[in-house]
């Protein structure tokens, strides 16, 4: 956090923006109650699909935020990268897959 304060601010701003979008998309999520009546199954299916969509977006948001944080760390670890590549410790692709 202290090595890259701009990156931390960016990740926080990105997380807040994603949360705002999810709130806008799913603001009416609980307006229907699940019903055993056959005539109201359309509402149940819609609500269930909305819950699945929200779960998917929240889980993807977690991984995207972590990925953005890792990408923002690449410039700060560039000296380590050049030193280890020049010493033939491993290949470039191995280093970026490990990051």
CB 99 within 8 A of CB 77: yes
- 91 belongs to a structural domain: no
Let me know if residue 93 belongs to a domain.
Answer: no
Domain range holding 32? Answer: 5-74
Q: What pLDDT band is residue 74 in, cutting at 50, 70 and 90? A: confident
Whether 85 is in a domain gets the answer no
Domain contains 60: yes
Q: Which residues contact 25 (CB under 8 A, 6 or more apart)?
A: 53, 54, 57
Q: How confident is the model at residue 50 (pLDDT cuts 50, 70, 90)?
A: confident
Would you state the pLDDT for residue 81?
85
**pLDDT of 2 above 80:** no
Collapse the DSSP code of 17 into the 3-class scheme (helix H, G, I; strand E, B; otherwise coil) and give the result. Answer: helix
User: What does the alpha-carbon distance between residue 58 and residue 69 come to, in Å, rounded to a whole number?
Assistant: 17
Q: How many domains does the chain have?
A: 1
């Amino acid at each position: 956090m202290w090595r890259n304060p701009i990156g931390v601010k960016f990740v926080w701003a990105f997380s807040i923006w994603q949360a705002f979008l999810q709130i806008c998309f799913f603001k009416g999520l609980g307006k229907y109650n699940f019903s055993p009546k056959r005539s109201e199954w359309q509402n149940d299916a819609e609500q269930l699909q909305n819950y699945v969509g929200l779960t998917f977006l929240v889980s993807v948001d977690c991984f995207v935020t972590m990925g953005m944080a890792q990408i923002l760390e690449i410039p700060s670890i560039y000296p380590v990268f050049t030193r280890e590549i020049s010493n033939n410790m491993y290949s470039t692709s191995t280093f970026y897959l490990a990051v």
